[in-house]
Amino acid sequence: MSEDLKVLVSYLDEYLAINKIKDYCPNGLQVEGRSTVKKILGGVTASQALIDEAVNRGVDAILVHHGFFWKGERSEITGIKRKRLKALLENDISLLSYHLPLDVHDEVGNNVQLAKQLQLTITGPLDHQAAKSVGLVGELNRSMSASEFKDFVGSALNRECMHIGDDNTAIKKIAWCTGAAQGMIEQAAHVGVDAFLSGEISEPTVHSALETGVHYFSAGHHATERYGVQALGNKLATEFNVQFQFLDINNPV
């Protein structure tokens, strides 16, 4: 029971429509390992800890949202980059990485999957100009006070959520974008939502929230981006003769 690496990669590349999305990194097969794949380990980021566990478990491929070779990074293979690549190549493990294509996908995308976790009903895109909006707009399944929603997000994602705004205001209409999309809060203010949720928060986000009157929820970059890879890996395991496991390596940011 195994599958050809090339077959899996071309399926994923097509399913996630990587050719239609401009990104800051290559999407698809970033590091080539053995030609057949039986076991796949998923994670949010291709860190050394994930690679070490992949070696321990004897998997054939790693599937992540944050891979290697980001635009603007140094191209020398030194330091931690050497260590990570050495471990993959020595153990013949492939690295499959899907960044923006996995944020925006209609079924397994991080934003659609986060909506499921938070019981949000999607009503439209955040960016009407974009061919494919990364952020989404929707509604909570019931109106909640801001502090109630903060606690709800914290327990749904198992990670404490930070809220900027008045605790007692009722929240119903919300926009969200996983990861480090805090800069989109002003765009969210334009579409007229009560709140905007993303992963990270920066110093200016606090002022933007208070001055636009849009509540801001910082739910964690890692925490908001756990769900796309899991949905994609589980899909692979139902479509092909492969086994998928997800490893959640705690990251407080």
Residues found near Zn ion in the complex (CB under 5 A): 179, 225
The strand ranges marked E within the chain are 3-4, 28-31, 36-37, 39-45, 61-66, 94-97, 120-125, 136-145, 162-164, 170-176, 195-198, 215-218, 243-246
Helix (H, G, I), strand (E, B) or coil at 159: coil
Q: Which is nearer to Zn ion, 33 or 228 (CB)?
A: 228
For strands 94-97 and 120-125, give the pairing: unpaired
Between CA 104 and CA 95 the distance in angstroms is 21
Q: How far is the CB of 225 from Zn ion (least distance, A)?
A: 5
Q: How far is the CB of 179 from Zn ion (least distance, A)?
A: 3
Between CA 159 and CA 229 the distance in angstroms is 18
Closest CA to 201 of 213, 224, 186, 183: 183
Helix (H, G, I), strand (E, B) or coil at 206: helix
Closest CA to 201 of 245, 193, 151, 210: 210
Q: Which is nearer to Zn ion, 97 or 242 (CB)?
A: 97
Q: How far is the CB of 58 from Zn ion (least distance, A)?
A: 28
Q: Which is nearer to Zn ion, 69 or 207 (CB)?
A: 69
Q: How far is the CB of 164 from Zn ion (least distance, A)?
A: 21
Q: Which is nearer to Zn ion, 33 or 233 (CB)?
A: 233
Q: How far is the CB of 66 from Zn ion (least distance, A)?
A: 6
Q: Which is nearer to Zn ion, 9 or 180 (CB)?
A: 180
Nearest residue to Zn ion by CB is: 179
